[in-house]
Amino acid sequence: MISKKIAIVLQTPKDQQSSVLLTYQDLANELTRRGHLVTIVTPDDFPASRRAAGRFTPLVYPFVVQGWMRQHGVACDVVVFHSYSGWRAVSTASARGVPAVVAFHGLEPLYHEALREESAETGGLSWRYRLLQEWLMPFMLRSACRRATRVTCLNSLERDELVRRGWVTEDRVDLVFHGVPAEFYLPERPPRRARTLLFVGQWLPMKGTAYLREAFTEIAHLHPEVRLVCAGTLAPAEAVLAGFAPVVRPRVTVIPRLARLDLVEIYRQADIMIAPSLYEGFGVALVEAMAARLPIVTTRVGVAADALTDGESALIIPTRHAQAIVGEVGRLLADNGLRERLGEAAGDVALHYREAAAVTDLADRLIRLARRRES
């Protein structure tokens, strides 16, 4: 076997709470195990990018990456560019015969559309942000996709949107998925009275946190024994709790940061998962909950739209609808059989999202592309 040199260029920092970074670290480990050389590049590796961190990153970072590509990337057998990060560098890769993959972990125009709808009631978005997301970002993504060898995304809605916009032809886009480690899979969930609701994710408006807060205030009033755990918020506990009505704060537990595998016990202690996101590229926390055979109340975004069926493997609610959360959680609290049935079905679906299969599939795809340089 000829060893290949593979580079992965991310647009996000090296944060061990990031599912994007964890995904590519797992991939790098698999490729290294097979004897290949892997480099993960992030904005943390470039002083210029660190100085421009924040709102200017999308403008500065692609030019930094282009410089890296000319100096180092041309020696690679394949390069993966996370979203807009490679829109300048893809042309350099193409000119030097280096296969380039543009990988989406959430499609920015769809995220922006959901954010614009959510912010309309609170004064809307700034003109600077709209300029970036409605003109510059589509331009950058279109340039990257059209020059890339392959494009990957995490759900069928994003694949269809990429094709509809004419950024990539259907034969050049691949659906990939995030995998869940074996430790998350629970053979069975012991029957018990439901008391603990669980939310897992960053405490951001696009995760539907406003509607979760509103819903839990009513749920807590209707069901005095029920509590809510918010895990992996990345926001301080006091900041999360401040948004809840004072009367329910004692019944909310906030765990800002925790290792990925520490979540295993969190899922096992919970009784119902609530995932009210307005937008998701994938939603790995949802699949982790599925693997733990939790009954789930979720919106039809990200992996939920592709993997879950309302009334069979989850209860699907509209986005931005606190009363729907209240109603469906109430159904689950009152019906042991429904909780068990939905949890079992979700667990069966989760078997298609095992981490080993996801990593192996993506590694195989990259190695096939890397071998193109041999001819």
Residue 9 has what pLDDT?
A: 96
Do 327 and 362 fall into the same domain? no
Do 212 and 332 fall into the same domain? yes
CA distance 213 to 217: 6
Task: With cut-offs at 50, 70 and 90, classify the pLDDT of residue 46.
Answer: confident
Do 98 and 173 fall into the same domain? yes
SS3 373: helix
Do 97 and 159 fall into the same domain? yes
108 dihedral zone (left: phi>0; alpha: psi -120 to 50; beta): alpha
Do 246 and 362 fall into the same domain? no
The mean of the pLDDT values for the chain is 93
Task: With cut-offs at 50, 70 and 90, classify the pLDDT of residue 1.
Answer: low
Do 148 and 295 fall into the same domain? no
> Contact, 121 vs 278, CB < 8 A?
no
C-alpha distances out from residue 134 to 128, 166, 203, Å: 10, 16, 25
For the segment 19-31, what is each residue's pLDDT rounded down to a tens digit? 888 899 999 999 9
Number of structural domains (the chain) is 2
| pLDDT, average across residues 333-358 | 96
User: Is the pLDDT confidence value at 367 over 70?
Assistant: yes
Range of the domain at 55: 5-179+355-374
SS3 354: strand
Do 236 and 163 fall into the same domain? no
| pLDDT, average across residues 215-233 | 97
What CATH number corresponds to the domain at position 51? 3.40.50.2000
Do 233 and 243 fall into the same domain? yes
Residue 200 has what pLDDT?
A: 97
Residue 127 has what pLDDT?
A: 86
Do 144 and 11 fall into the same domain? yes
User: Is the pLDDT confidence value at 55 over 70?
Assistant: no
Do 172 and 245 fall into the same domain? no
| pLDDT, average across residues 225-236 | 96
CA distance 250 to 310: 32
List of residues 6+ apart from 299 with CB closer than 8 A = 208, 275, 276, 277, 278, 316, 317, 318, 319
For the segment 116-168, what is each residue's pLDDT rounded down to a tens digit? 988 887 778 888 889 889 999 999 999 999 999 999 999 999 999 999 999 99
Do 321 and 363 fall into the same domain? no
Instruction: Supply the pTM of this predicted model.
Output: 0.92
Do 154 and 193 fall into the same domain? no
